Structure 1
Amino acid sequence: MLDLILCVDDDPITLMLCKKVITKTSFSNTIVTAKNGEEALEYFDSIINKKEDTQLPQLIFLDLNMPVMDGWEFLDNFSSNKYSKVNTTKIVVLSSTIDPEDHEKSKKYPMVIDFLSKPITTNMLTYLESKI
């Protein structure tokens, strides 16, 4: 079981489903959410700027297609030196896209450990347990 997961998606129904499935399977103790990449980066900024040790998420579920800041922009920013203290967190792209180019593009980011299709399922979490 993981201690903390961050789910980044603009769809409130997807976020609710993520929370339900993760809670049902006891995959993580705590689930934090962000509605887009910008909110997710603000979350990591708050961790970086705190004086005391704050727990990092052990896994991020990241949607690609979001307003304000999409998943690709998040990955580009998260890969920068500014986030070098926190970008060891593993990321699973969880998207509705079926474009093989997106799948290939995600491989250029070392923190991305998998690319899975929405919606999240209990079988998916069982599969991911072996990769984390």
Structure 2
Amino acid sequence: MLEKIYCVDDDVITLMLCKKVIERASFAKEILTATNGEEAILFFKELAEQSNPAYPRLVLLDLNMPIMNGWEFLDQYLKNGYQNIFTEAKFIVLSSTIDPQDVEKTKNYPMVVDFLSKPITKEMIENLKLKQT
């Protein structure tokens, strides 16, 4: 079981579904959320200012969001060097996009380990649990 998971999505129903599915699968003790990439960057900025922060080891990230989308977030995350601070944080893009170029583009981000299609299901979480062990 992970200590923390961070879900970033502008759709509150998707966030509620993520929380419920993750809770039911007993995959994380704490589920944190943000509604856009800007909130998520501020979250990591605040964590980076702490000594020895307890950061989420898994981030579920939507691509299509207002204010700052998932791509912009990933670019800022790299630009700010957070991948060097939060070395164990892994990202999974969780998106409704069906564009194969989006899947290919995620390979440019070393912290992104998977691309899953919405909606998240208990089976997806169970598969993630298996990969964690």
TM bucket (normalised to shorter chain) is over 0.9
| Cα separation, 2, equivalents of 1:75 and 1:87 | 14
Partner deviation per Cα, 1:23-81 (whole Å, 9 max, x = no partner) = 0110100000011111001001111112x432010100000000000000011111124
Task: Map 1:51-130 to 2 at 5 A.
Answer: 52-83=51-82, 84-86=84-86, 88-130=88-130
Structure 1 runs of 4+ off > 4 angstroms?
A: none
Between Structure 1 and Structure 2, how many residues are aligned? 131
Relative distance call for 1:68 and 1:54 in structure 2 (3 A) is: same
Q: 1:130: how far off?
A: 3.0
Q: TM-score, normalised by structure 2?
A: 0.93
**Match in the other structure for 2:38:** 38
Identical amino acids, percent of aligned pairs: 56
Unaligned runs of 5+ in 2: none
**AA of the residue aligned to 1:75:** L
RMSD across aligned positions (CA): 1.2
Q: TM-score, normalised by structure 1?
A: 0.94
| Cα separation, 2, equivalents of 1:81 and 1:10 | 23
- Determine which structure has the larger helix proportion and give its number: 2
